[in-house]
């Protein structure tokens, strides 16, 4: 451990920039729901559970839009 550190080039805030077309939010999910998505990523050998949740929401939206188009 150093006696002194130089933070003159340090930056505050998010370490990884957010991709264009994405918004950072806070969301409350049931523990069981979050655990299921994390388990799916673990079983697949890695990945990002947030991406998996995003994909699931996209699929839901597409199914709803399809049902609306056919009049159900």
pLDDT tens digits along 18-55? 778 888 899 999 999 999 999 999 999 999 999 999 99
Residue 8, pLDDT > 70, answer: yes
Which domain range does residue 39 map to?
31-70
- 15 falls within a domain: no
- 41 falls within a domain: yes
Instruction: Name which residue leads in pLDDT, 63 or 17.
Output: 63
The answer to whether 37 touches 49, Cβ cutoff 8 Å, is: yes
Output the pTM of the full model. 0.70
What is the count of structural domains for the chain? Answer: 1
At residue 56 the predicted structure's pLDDT band, cuts being 50, 70 and 90, is: very high
- 11 falls within a domain: no
- 53 falls within a domain: yes
Give, rounded to a whole angstrom, the gap between the first and last alpha carbons of the chain. 65
- The C-alpha atoms of residue 18 and residue 26 are separated, in whole angstroms, by 14
Residue 72, pLDDT > 90, answer: no
């Amino acid at each position: 451990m150093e006696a002194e550190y130089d933070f003159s080039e340090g930056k505050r805030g998010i370490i990884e920039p957010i991709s264009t077309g994405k918004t950072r939010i806070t969301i409350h999910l049931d523990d069981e729901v979050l655990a299921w998505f994390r388990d799916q990523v673990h079983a697949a050998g890695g990945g990002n559970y947030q991406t998996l949740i995003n994909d699931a929401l996209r699929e839901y939206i597409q199914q709803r839009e399809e049902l609306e188009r056919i009049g159900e």
